[in-house]
Amino acid sequence: MPPETLHFPPSQAALLAPYLPSTTSTTSSSRPHLTLTFATSLDSALSLRPGTQTALSGPESKAMTHYLRSRHSAILIGAGTAVADDPGLNCRIAGCASQPRPVVLDPSARWQVGDGSKVVRLAREGAGLAPFVVVRAGVEVSRERRAVLERVGGRYIPAPCEEGGGFAWRDVLAVLEREGLDSVMVEGGGAVINSLLAGANLRLVDSVIVTIAPTWLGKGGVVVSPHRPGGEDGTEPAARLVGVKWCPLGEDVVLCGRPA
């Protein structure tokens, strides 16, 4: 099958510009620009069930997601998405000038990445970059598994973990910075998005771009609904976006904003 090629019109790209990392700025920010982006149903679900992929974006907003990939130096997902989706994580916009570096948060190295994984195949074909897999410092990864990534230009990167077993976002951003990646779009899934939207982590998010599809997935799906420490007794304010723009795109609507 010939590779899929997507087109995203410049008029629509212009609407997103204020929310994207600058292409000209010379200010040296202390951390990478972080864009949080995902597709959701009307009942805030990312997929019908954990462990499965659900297509939500229509063709126009799918092309937008690929345009966003072309505008960031890294694209980040959690291990749950890597295992469920076998994603490609490349940019399929016609004439895409620079491919994003896939980054997978996988503290326990549970993603069984192999020569047949889509992201590895695309890297081998020169249609994308090989992934950096961030694992808990000290976790065992076999020589064969390391070789799969290293043959195509990827690798495992150790980082410290917090008590709960996940990474602190500041440590993740520090890894990206050390690798020379100055912007990242975080694509999901549920655990990653909910963690970034919770409490002080939200301060690390520069912009949010959400595709909302006209469908209800019903109960049992993977849902975006961040934990709000102190939310029950009203001491933690609700998370909210400011500088908001709503853009209809095909049958979907795309919401852009910045954390208040």
Ligand X SMILES: Nc1nc(=O)c(N)c(NC[C@H](O)[C@H](O)[C@H](O)COP(=O)(O)O)[nH]1
The contact pattern for ligand NAD, residues 212-231, with x = CB under 6 A and - = no contact, is ----------x---------
Tell me which of ligand X, ligand NAD, none is bound by residue 195, counting a contact when its beta carbon lies within the kind-specific cut-off of 5 to 8 angstroms: ligand NAD
CB of 183 to ligand X, least distance (A): 17
C-beta pairs of 148-153 under 8 Å, 24+ apart in sequence: 148/113, 148/114, 148/115, 148/117, 148/120, 149/113, 149/120, 151/124, 152/120, 152/123, 152/124, 153/123, 153/129
Contact 189, 47 (CB under 8 A): yes
Using CB under 6 A as the binding rule, whether residue 55 contacts ligand X is answered as yes
Residue reference for tokens 């982590």: 201
- Give SS3 for 144: helix
Using CB under 6 A as the binding rule, whether residue 1 contacts ligand X is answered as no
Query: Nearer to ligand NAD by C-beta: 124 or 198?
Result: 198
- How does 216-247 read in b/e, with b if 16+ C-beta sit within 10 Å? ebeeebbbbebebeeeeeeeeeebebeeeeeb
* Residue 113 to residues 87, 108, 154, 189, Cα–Cα distance (Å): 11, 13, 11, 18
# chain residues binding ligand NAD, by CB under 6 A: 28
Enumerate residues 86-105 that contact ligand NAD by CB under 6 A.
105
Enumerate residues 103-162 that contact ligand X by CB under 6 A.
none
Tell me which of ligand NAD, ligand X, none is bound by residue 78, counting a contact when its beta carbon lies within the kind-specific cut-off of 5 to 8 angstroms: ligand NAD
Using CB under 6 A as the binding rule, whether residue 53 contacts ligand X is answered as yes
Binding residue for ligand NAD (CB under 6 A) from 190, 208, 212, 252? 190
In the numeric block, which tokens belong to residue 85?
Answer: 């989706």
Contact 245, 259 (CB under 8 A): no
> CA-CA distance, 166 to 157, in Å (whole number)?
14
Using CB under 6 A as the binding rule, whether residue 60 contacts ligand X is answered as no
Applying CB under 6 A, which part among 13-21, 82-90, 220-228, 238-246 lies near ligand X? Answer: 82-90
Binding residue for ligand X (CB under 6 A) from 16, 20, 39, 93? 39
CB of 22 to ligand X, least distance (A): 23
Using CB under 6 A as the binding rule, whether residue 53 contacts ligand NAD is answered as yes
Using CB under 6 A as the binding rule, whether residue 87 contacts ligand X is answered as yes
In the numeric block, which tokens belong to residue 170?
Answer: 């500041």
Query: Nearer to ligand X by C-beta: 55 or 238?
Result: 55
Which residues are within 8 A (CB) of 45 and not within 5 positions of it... i.e. 6 or more apart?
54, 217, 218, 221, 222, 223, 224
Enumerate binding residues for ligand NAD (CB under 6 A): 38-39, 46-47, 50, 52-53, 56, 77-81, 84-85, 105-107, 166-167, 187-192, 195, 222
Residues of this chain that bind ligand X (CB under 6 A): 39, 53-57, 65, 77, 81, 85, 87-89, 187-188, 211
